[in-house]
Amino acid sequence: MRILVTGGAGFIGSNFIKYMVSKYPKYHILCYDKLTYAGNLDRLDSTDGLISYFVEGDICNEEFLDWVIDEAKIDTIVNFAAETHVDNSIESSDEFIKTNINGTHTLLKMLHKYEIKKFVQISTDEVYGALSENDKPFTENTPLAPNSPYSASKTSADLLCRSFYETYKYPIVITRCSNNYGSNQHTEKLIPKMIENIKSGKKIPIYGDGRNIRDWVHVEDHCEAIDLVLHKGKNGEVYNIGGECEKRNIDIANIVLSHLNASTDLIEYVKDRKGHDWRYAVDITKIKNELGWYPKRKFNESIKELV
């Protein structure tokens, strides 16, 4: 395979590249990343030169993207490239519309020109909207109901991918994951922000009353799932990827505080996020039954190791 990994210097993308070059040393991996504030090539140091190429580029730059795919003889695309921070999308949605929608469209247009064997769109459980306390988890058939500019932009990208499959029968698959945690995550995200603040003696900001619920999956489990979807996923399908590990935000804070032997006095409740979704949880029955994937890493063990 000759794989274009867009957003490959980001948190999940870099973990995916490291996983792939370790498991498939004969594959050619091209890391393509705009290197915004969220991209960092230091995340790829441990690949020891096994990345075939790195190209700094914007997925919205159609002419340059076209040249790169042609020059590198790409036959597979895994699209991690995205603006992902909900708070940033609330402040300004422009970059989210540009990258997440227009950028995905630019990538999809490459399928008109090149014989791409598989296109994997990395999406999010947030496209489904929010659950109440007693609702059943989202399935792949749950209607899409995004509640933030970020999730709306990812929903739009998913629908573009669906339309390109339905219209042209291109080999497109979509994955929708729950909250990821693991090494080298940007400190704007919940768990690394908590760890950094506690180690610096700063307050941990918790939205609202801290009772909002998220499902957590380790990034390495997520990468294994994407690997299976890439090789065995059925074209035109959606696969939910989750950890079957629902936690309240305040519980995460208490777990991290306990591992760092820090006082709960560091918790600071702040004004709730606008349109804050109450709960996310995904049903992973489909990927279990069809591809044999399940989350292997236990949260309590993995979070201790991470901290």
Q: Which residues are catalytic?
A: 125-126, 150
Label residue 144 by pLDDT band (50, 70, 90): very high
> What tokens were used for 195?
């760890």
Question: What is the SS3 assignment for 22-83?
Answer: HHCCCCEEEEEECCCCCCCHHHHHHHCCCCCEEEECCCCCHHHHHHHHHHHCCCEEEECCCC
Residue spans of alpha helices (H) in the chain:
11-23, 62-72, 86-91, 94-96, 104-113, 149-168, 190-199, 219-232, 249-259, 285-291, 299-306
β-strands 28-33, 2-6 pairing: parallel
What is the pTM (predicted TM-score) of this model? 0.94
From the CA atom positions of the chain, what is the Rg in Å? 19
Q: What phi and psi, each to the nearest 5 degrees, are found at residue 165? A: -70, -50
Contact between 68 and 6 (Cβ < 8 Å)? no
Question: Which residues lie across from 5 on neighbouring strands?
Answer: 31, 78
Domains of the chain in sequence order: 2-182+219-243+278-297 (3.40.50.720)
Question: What integer best gives the mean pLDDT of the chain?
Answer: 94
Label residue 45 by pLDDT band (50, 70, 90): confident
Residues 212-252: pLDDT tens digits? 999 999 999 999 999 999 999 999 999 999 999 999 999 99
> Percent of the chain scored above 70 by pLDDT?
98
